[in-house]
Amino acid sequence: MLHAVLPIPWWRLLTVGLSLVLLLVLGRALDLRIGRLSLVSSLRGTAQLIAVGYFLGALLSVRRFELVVATFLVMLGVAARAAVDRLRHRLPGLTLFASLALATGTVLGVVFMTAVVVQPSPWWDPQYVIPFAGMLLGNAMNGASLAGERFQEELKSRKGEVEARLSLGLSGPESVHPLLQRALRASLIPTLNSFAVAGVVQLPGMMTGQILSGVAPLIAVEYQILIFFLLMTSTAMSTLVFLLMLRSRYLTRAHQLRVELLR
């Protein structure tokens, strides 16, 4: 028999800070130099989650379409900025590229979820749209940043190979296609690996949360299967669009490699 999730008093929740103390001690003992990063990440993440908790409580009670759109745009902007910040080589316009790419995969996934599979009423119900959009955005952000960094490094280290293909008469896209292919594949591996061991090695976060909240395990499994398939496709779409845009910055219309951008 399933029971409602047990609330956690704030004073008891604060005891999880002991895990941070353990991490700080471990980092100090092994000279990992992660003390400041651990503190900042913990404080920042905690503050953000508390703020989001209050905001989502208000959003779910108001249920306004324009607020749902505004929330998604804020999430999109933060995700795009974070994806670009992880790249070693910054280029003008990359944040816009990342925004368009992440929006492409995420919107496709959310629309499919609302129009075909779950069909909430209204279709933009924030109880479904915001959590799904957040999961898709987060995964697509990691995929795009990983693929972008891999593509830039491959392009820099294999510049000679690309120029050789260009000199043989291949077009710009053809010359860098092997690099783009490897970058896209590398970005999808974490998601595919997670799906491959789901339920055996680990219980995914969404499924665990639903079970804790009292949802029947089989219903939680249905939603988790849905999110996994959407994660794969939306991440692939967002990453591919981002790589194609990134590729366009490194190639001229005359199919020449812009070597100056690799320095």
Helix (H) or strand (E) holding 243: helix 217-250
> What is the residue-wise DSSP string for 245-262?
HHHHHHB-TTS-B-GGGG
Give me the amino acid identity at 119.
Answer: Q
Give me the amino acid identity at 233.
Answer: T
Give the whole-angstrom CA distance, residue 232 versus residue 184.
12
**Token pair in block for residue 110:** 């959310």
What pLDDT is attached to residue 184?
A: 95
Question: Helix 94-112 vs helix 217-250: angle between axes, to the nearest 10 degrees?
Answer: 150
Question: Could you tell me if 48 and 42 are in contact, meaning their C-beta atoms sit under 8 angstroms apart?
Answer: no
What pLDDT is attached to residue 182?
A: 95
pTM: predicted TM-score of the whole model, two decimal places: 0.85
What pLDDT is attached to residue 89?
A: 78
**Token pair in block for residue 156:** 């820099």
Which pLDDT tens digit goes with each residue over 1-57? 556 667 788 888 889 888 889 988 998 888 888 888 899 999 999 999 899 889 988
Average pLDDT, the chain: 89
**Token pair in block for residue 131:** 């959590």
Give me the amino acid identity at 30.
Answer: L
